[in-house]
Amino acid sequence: MPSFPRIGSDITFYGCSVLRQFEMMDVFSVNQSIAISRSRDKLRSLQLLSRKGVGMPITGFASKPDDVPDLIKMVGGAPLVIKLLEGTQGIGVVLAETQKAAESVIEAFMGLKANIMVQEFIEEAGGADIRCFVIGDKVIAAMKRQAADGEFRSNLHRGGSATLIRISPEERKTAVAAAKAMGLSVAGVDLLRSKRGPLVMEVNSSPGAGRHRKRNRKGHCRTDCRVHRKACNQERAPPFAISVGQEKNAMWPDIAPFAWSSLLKCGICGALIGLERQLRGKPVGIRTSTLIIVGTYCFITLGRTLSDSNADIARVMAQVITGIGFLGAGGVMMNRDGQIHGVTSAAVVWMLAALGVTIGLGYGQSAVIMTGGVMITVLLGVDKLENSLRFLQKGVHAPLV
């Protein structure tokens, strides 16, 4: 049964915790908890957009009053926009039209220990933005939101008005890129039209489709939402009942945070690659291959359970890769004739770890497909080429003299 999470901004921590529990039970979620957490932190989301090269307003962040003048200068001076990092629906967003006003508002927020960021004011947008409703790699609907008279915030909750709009290919590409940078499969991306092209103002992980549906006479919201239905069916879990955190009438006992389906994929990938190695009489057989990939999956899954931070998970991956490197290096040897043996097996160990990481991050089907590709093109395909083409039988494959 797939999960379609819409989590209120005031219960982000609780909502993401519940969603993580579903993820541990291998229930498919349209938007994963870690992606929702990223998008809810305005500064974090803009950092990710910046790293991916997505257009965005110049943004500054500081924590001390002494830094305020430099912060204002960094974004091009007044007028500028000051935002609370976790505000929604236009709440906590202030337009400071002069240098003095900007300094006063920023210092007031800092005095309240509020986390804020400062952005350049895009005057040419004229108090309007574009909400793009993204599903997968498509923008299925878009509307222009215009601020009310005397207001610069275009949020409909602030009295703004909405009209249908046809967006340009560049705006469409920017909206999809922004959703992918967050890791969101369903998102509402807010764009500003500026002199230097579309700029992403915010990526919303819980966009409301109601207003899009009312304003879309052609019914694209109703029909194009089928775009993501295939993704929901790819890793659909069987129906389940929850009672005090445990599954009832389950065929297999609960092994959270691990999932039986993921362990099965680990077994398939390890057995396929290990079988090829074992038939060739190599040291990395079925048993070793399966243990490597299952172990890597367990470490990555536990890392995701302990932290939502990409940096923490990346550190777990780095430690796993280092350990696997030592394991693979132990199988590389040189004989008395100067020939090196075991390099391919060492590389296979690295590949097995990569597959374990892939499954641990929730891409089990991709790991199985990658395993088939490696088997057919590299382990078996290259061997056939080496046997049929003499010029490939050089170097490490040259016969002993």
pLDDT of 247 above 50: no
What average pLDDT does the chain have?
Answer: 77
| Type of residue at 109 | F
Q: Quick check: is 99 in a domain? A: no
- Positions of E strands within 301-343: 333-334, 340-341
Instruction: Answer whether residue 63 shows pLDDT above 60.
Output: yes
Mean pLDDT of 11-28: 82
Contacts of 38 (CB under 8 A, 6+ apart): 44, 45, 48, 182, 183, 310
* Closest-CA residue to 381 (of 271, 267, 276): 276
Q: What is the pLDDT of residues 107-153, one digit of tens each?
A: 888 888 888 888 888 888 888 889 999 998 899 999 888 877 766 66
DSSP state of 41: S
What confidence score (pLDDT) does residue 322 get? 82
Is residue 59 over pLDDT 60?
A: yes
Q: Is 266 within a domain?
A: yes
Peptide bond into 79 cis (omega under 30): yes
Per-residue model confidence (pLDDT) at position 239: 36
Q: Does residue 67 sit within a domain? A: no
* pLDDT level of residue 264 (50, 70, 90 thresholds): very high
pLDDT of residue 176: 93
* CA separation for the pair 328, 144 (Å, rounded): 56
> What is the pLDDT at residue 220?
45
What pLDDT shows up at residue 346? 82
Contact assessment for residue 151 and residue 90, using Cβ atoms and an 8 Å cutoff = no
In terms of Cβ atoms closer than 10 Å to its own Cβ (0-12, 13-18, 19+), residue 168 is: exposed
In this predicted model, what pLDDT tens digit does every residue of 160-218 receive, in sequence order? 677 888 889 899 999 999 999 998 989 999 999 888 889 998 898 887 655 444 544 44
Q: Cβ distance 127 to 139 under 8 Å?
A: no
Cα–Cα distances in angstroms (integers) from residue 307 to residues 5, 354, 358, 375, 400, in the given order: 20, 20, 17, 34, 53
Size (the chain), residues: 401
CB atoms within 10 A of CB 112: 8
Single-letter amino acid, residue 272 = L
Distance between CA 182 and CA 299 in Å, rounded?
Answer: 23
Q: Over the stretch 87-113, which tens digit does the pLDDT of each residue have?
A: 665 577 888 888 888 888 888 888 888
Between 267 and 284, residue with greater pLDDT: 267
pLDDT at 340: 56
State which residues form the domain around 360. Answer: 260-397
pTM above threshold 0.75: no
* Better pLDDT: 21 or 232: 21
The overall longest dimension of the chain from CA atoms, in Å, is 88
Please report whether residue 139 resides in a domain: no
Number of separate domains in the chain: 1
**318, exposed or middle or buried, with CB in 10 Å at 0-12, 13-18, 19+?**
exposed
Residues 6+ apart with CB under 8 A from 400: 337, 339
Residue 299 inside a domain? The answer is yes
Q: Is residue 379 part of a domain?
A: yes
What average pLDDT does range 19-26 have in this prediction? 83
| Selection from 189, 192, 221, 173 nearest residue 39 by Cα | 189
Percent of the chain with pLDDT over 90: 9
Q: What is the pLDDT of residue 32?
A: 86
In order of 107, 207, 237, 364, the CA distances from 1 in angstroms are 49, 21, 6, 17
pLDDT tens digits for range 327-347 = 766 655 545 455 556 677 788
With respect to residue 220, please indicate whether it lies within any of the assigned structural domains: no
Give the Cα-Cα-Cα angle 98, 101, 102 (nearest 5 degrees).
85
pLDDT (tens digit, 9 = 90+) per residue, 313-327?
788 888 888 887 777
Tell me the two tokens of residue 313: 């998970």
CA 46 to mean position of chain CA atoms: 14
Q: Tokens 């170097």 correspond to what residue?
A: 395
Residue 295 has pLDDT above 80, yes or no: yes
Ramachandran quadrant class, 53 (left: phi over 0; alpha: psi -120 to 50; beta: rest): left
Helix (H, G, I), strand (E, B) or coil at 59: strand
Q: What is the mean pLDDT of residues 373-380?
A: 82
For residues 368-372, give the mean pLDDT: 89
Please write the tens of the pLDDT for every residue from 68-77.
888 888 888 8
DSSP 8-state code for residue 61: -
Tokens standing for residue 291: 């243990």
| 48 vs 86, residue with greater confidence | 48
Q: What is the mean pLDDT of residues 252-280?
A: 85
Q: Are strands 197-204 and 116-120 parallel, antiparallel or unpaired?
A: unpaired
pLDDT greater than 50 at residue 29: yes
